Amino acid sequence: MGELFWNKVAGVVLATVLAVLAIMELGHMLVPSHAAHELTAENTAYPVDWAAIGAGATTEVIVEGPTDYGLVLAAADIGAGERAARRCAACHSFDQGGADGVGPNLWGVVGTDIASRDGFSYSAALQSLDGAWTYEALDAFIENPSGYASGTAMSYRGLGNDDTRLELIAYMRSLSDNPMPLPAPLPVDAPAEAVEDAMGSMDEAADDMAEQAQQDTEGGE
């Protein structure tokens, strides 16, 4: 094959590429494209109910009810909580009669008054807190110590995993000759009522937006 043959091949390839580019450009000229925020009733190919779209553009509401400590702690894996407690062993002991370390011994701490272990020097932040180490208080403190007690000397950043944290609390509850009673489980219909209230609010907001959109449309005619 001579040089003339390859020149012909290159010419065919180049002509094909130019033809494709020309067809694409012609398509853009005949059917203009628009970004999503540029779409209007004038540049859409099919009729669109813009008022309905506006009314439907509501933000999804995720309803989170209170933690059912009576339910989740009863079902928690205490063995997994004991394993989670090992990460605390550098500062705390968990044995009955165990010595204090950087932090106080934690045997029987669930249900006792905050900062109440005799002989341990608590930070001013913990000493200023009232109340007892309830399940709610422990949950909040272990999740974010500095957020719950600003200025605490506890350097631990917190345990963010909900399941692991509740397993740890269930284990700590077991470290007592008389464990703190679990609260009664929450009524099963409480979350459903919260969802119904939220859905009712969303429906009202959607109706208001649809009505406002209709008024704006009528006012522009």
Note the pLDDT tens digit of each residue in 140-152. Answer: 999 999 999 999 9
Average pLDDT in the chain? 80
pLDDT at 31: 62
pLDDT at 221: 47
Contacts of residue 16, defined as CB under 8 A and 6 or more positions apart, other chains included, come to none
The domains of the chain are located at: 69-174
Note the pLDDT tens digit of each residue in 181-199. Answer: 999 998 876 555 555 555 5
pLDDT at 24: 75
Of residues 47 and 98, the one with the higher pLDDT is 98
Q: What is the mean pLDDT of residues 11-38?
A: 69
For domain 69-174, the question of CATH label 1.10.760.10 is answered with: yes
Of residues 156 and 12, the one with the higher pLDDT is 156
The yes-or-no verdict on residue 28 having pLDDT over 90 is: no
